[in-house]
Amino acid sequence: MAAPSCSAPGLCGPLLRSLFTLVSKPFCSTAAASRPLDAQQLAEKLRAQKREQKRKEEAVPTDPVQRRVQELVRFTQQLQRIHPNVLAKALSRGILHQDKDLVVINKPYGLPVHGGPGVQLCISEVLPILAKVLHGHKAEPLHLCHRLDKETTGVMVLAWEKEVAHQVQELFRTRQVEKKYWAITVRVPMPSAGVVDIPIIEKEVQGQQQHYKMTLSPSYRMENRKMVKVRTSRNAQIAVTQYQVISSTVSSALVELQPVTGIKHQLRVHLSFGLDCPILGDHKYSDWNRLAPQKLPVGTLKKLGLIQSKARYIPLHLHARQLILPPFGSRKEELQLVCKLPRFFVHSLRRMGLEMPNQDENEHSEARPPGAQ
């Protein structure tokens, strides 16, 4: 087949050159893109990506709501990125009490006691490292004496010897340990002091998201304005909580709680379902039917500097404030253990206009860096 001829000799040269340029550019760029990066170029590319990511993380939003959200997100995620050695050293710097039998730590927020699906870091995993930090490389691992929920902060007792750990566990089991917790509640308990004595049972929640929760299993109910005793489920467990309001506003309160029994999630269930005053940041027990972020009043959100869509980042404000261990073994005197509030808890108290007792105010009066939790 004959090659096509050009009827305009003056245009053929430039036209063919431009056509060759247009056609060849995609092939050239494709070839360049497929050419593998050498080690130096790859390293520089990765460094540039890390610099950009760091710049985005460190950028402080001008909007106070977004700034507060950023603080909460960073706080709730940082624990799972910490190396066990780093965590052990941090725990050692915050030890509340140490002697030949016991080590008492300040348990951080968001750190589970035991491992499980999706758990990257837990207290039990760190105990051998913490023992070596405190007593050298030949030290035997520490032993757990009791447990706290992942979201609960505060006093946690460990023992050097397994026998001592069993003795302390027996004290907890027989209800000889006096425990005091502090919580910030949404709404104010009425009356301001009292006892919640309602059994608790675990039940399956029906709906789109089937799940299990602890809930109340009352021994009495109202019928025709009369209190009638009902048959208690054999799976229900006795649960008793003493409480007292320390400070309150119109819509919130700082409450001291003394659990007489030690049922799973007892304080959260008694406050939310028994007194209709869920703990701030309790996204599980603020609503029985749903697994969803806690729905907060507009006034509370305003004080916290948040909008409802960001409430999911609010941590549970429940703190193991004090433990009193009675004499046991060779110990002749009771041991009082007190743990100061975490920074995020103090920050929320101030935002919500709640006051602490004087001695606790002095304890937390030191200056905090901007954005500190």
Which of 99, 149, 276, 282 is flagged as catalytic?
149
The length of the chain in residues reads 373
Nearest one of 322, 352, 325 to 340, comparing CA atoms: 322
**214: helix, coil or strand?**
strand
What is the phi/psi pair of residue 350, to 5°? Answer: -65, -40
Distance of alpha carbon 300 from alpha carbon 114, whole angstroms = 33
What torsion do the CA atoms of 278, 279, 282, 287 make, to the nearest 10 degrees? Answer: 0
CA-based torsion, 264, 314, 279, 320: positive or negative: positive
For residue 103, list its beta bridge partners.
Answer: 98, 158
Q: Which two tokens stand for residue 109?
A: 């927020």
CA-based torsion, 50, 54, 56, 57: positive or negative: positive
Give every CB contact of residue 11 below 8 A, 6+ residues apart in sequence.
Answer: none
> Would you call 149 a catalytic residue per the annotation?
yes
Nearest one of 298, 192, 194, 188 to 250, comparing CA atoms: 188
Q: Which two tokens stand for residue 46?
A: 């990765």
Distance of alpha carbon 196 from alpha carbon 161, whole angstroms = 36
Positions marked catalytic: 149
